[in-house]
Amino acid sequence: MIHVDYDACDYCGACVGTCPEVVIHLLDAKLIVDNKGCTDCGICTYACPVEALALDKLVPGGAAKQGGRREVVV
C-alpha cells in the first residue's frame, strides 16, 4: 500500500506515469492512488522529488526510496 503525504505533495504529477499498474491518477489537482491495484513494487517512490510517497511494507524483490534511503528486499 502506498501512502501519500499530502502536506509534502505538490501535485507535480511526476509519479503518475511511473506506475506499471496505472493506479496513480492526478484528478482535479488531487492525487488519487487506488491501492487495491498496488503491488507494492515501490517504483513510484523514486519519481517523487519531495519524497511524498512511501510504502508500508516492501515485498520480496521490491525496492523503494523511503525517507531518502533506498531499501530493497530480496
Return residues touching ligand SF4 (CB under 6 A).
2, 4, 9-15, 18-19, 21, 23-24, 31, 33, 38-44, 47-48, 50, 52-53
Report the nearest approach of ligand SF4 to the CB of residue 21 (Å).
4
Gyration radius of the chain over CA positions: 11
Beta bridge partners of residue 24, listed in sequence order? 33
> Rounded to an integer, what distance in angstroms lies between the CA atom of residue 46 and that of residue 43?
6
If the CB atoms of residues 20 and 74 are measured against ligand SF4, the closer one turns out to be: 20
- Number of neighbouring beta carbons within 10 Å of residue 15: 23
Report the nearest approach of ligand SF4 to the CB of residue 19 (Å).
3
